[in-house]
Amino acid sequence: MQVSGDSIGMMAGAYFVGRNQLLRWINELTGLNYTKIEQTASGVFACHVFDALFPGNVKLEKVKFNAKHSHEFIHNYKILQAAFNCAKLRKRIDVEKLIKAKYQDNLEFIQWIKAFYDAHASEEALNYDGRSRRESIMQRPAAAGARSGRTALAQNRPRLHEGAYGRERNVTGRAVAVRKAEFDALKEENEKLKNDVADCEADREFYFSKLRDVEVIIQGVDEKMKNEAEAVDLTAVFKEIRAVLYAEDGGADEDDDQAELDELAEEAQQLQLEEEEDAEYDA
């Protein structure tokens, strides 16, 4: 049976639970001892919650419990999304937002998880011990190694050498694969950051150019005003500035601001007439 994650509405009780209460719930359930909402960006806490709700669906042994970097966060969220699919839970995780560790994005995700947990938690899930689950998984490699050592002592030396070599080769191959995946993720993230920087620099140059053009127009007006014999057509000045602001932008709709611009032009014309009258009066 499919479960819809979208059935949790914004009026659910969890959306009215305070930050401290949410952190206390997380720590009691998982034993993670978080002090900030932003720490949940790693996805570890979420994997624990759904390990409690859907036992066996979350590959908890593959979760990076000590994740510090965005590519490690992504790895954990992939495991979580796979668990959702196994449990037929229709909910898309917005990984790109969550891994940035922004307070509001992660708070809303926690609130949704809390609401879902409150609605679906079994007696077993309510008594879930995240710390014990995590510690048992983290200790497994050492225990496996000890068993392998005892078994190896019972074997003859040639077979021990051959088996050890085979295991070493397999472990090395897996380690290389993991390193390569991490490297590819870092490379992809680096390319994205480069593109973001390039876009920011292009925007900066674009708007600086506009600012410089407006500055030139204002300097021209200033020179004309110094020359009392030469009148300044403020309406024309406003139109010229407007042309600079909207030039090559493509995103402005002239009709949207037309009324306001016409009003500014009218005020400028009225101001010019008043200045001319004052000049005639002084003469």
Sequence spans of domains, the chain? 3-140, 206-282
Reply yes or no on whether the pLDDT at 44 is more than 90: yes
CA distances from 122 to 48, 55, 117, 125, 126 (A): 15, 11, 9, 5, 6
pLDDT of 258-283, one tens digit each?
555 566 556 666 766 776 776 666 66
Q: How far apart are CA 189 and CA 158, in angstroms?
A: 47
Q: How far apart are CA 2 and CA 87, in angstroms?
A: 8
If pLDDT is split at 50, 70 and 90, which confidence band does 238 have? confident
Residue 81 · residue 93 · CB < 8 Å: yes
Cβ-Cβ contacts under 8 Å for 240 (sequence gap 6 or more) = 217
In this prediction, residue 29 carries a pLDDT of 95
In this prediction, residue 252 carries a pLDDT of 44
High-pLDDT (> 70) share of the chain, %: 71
Most confident stretch, 60-69, 149-158, 170-179, 249-258? 60-69
Nearest one of 43, 110, 45 to 77, comparing CA atoms: 43
Q: How far apart are CA 57 and CA 50, in angstroms?
A: 8
Residue 152 · residue 160 · CB < 8 Å: yes
Residue 64 · residue 134 · CB < 8 Å: no
Reply yes or no on whether the pLDDT at 50 is more than 90: yes
- Alpha helices (H) along 87-156: 95-98, 103-120, 123-126, 130-153
Q: What architecture is the 3-140 domain classified under in CATH?
A: Orthogonal Bundle (1.10)
Residue 133 · residue 48 · CB < 8 Å: yes
High-pLDDT (> 90) share of the chain, %: 38
pLDDT of 131-171, one tens digit each?
999 999 888 754 444 455 555 445 555 544 545 555 566 66
- Tokens 């510690």 sit on residue: 135
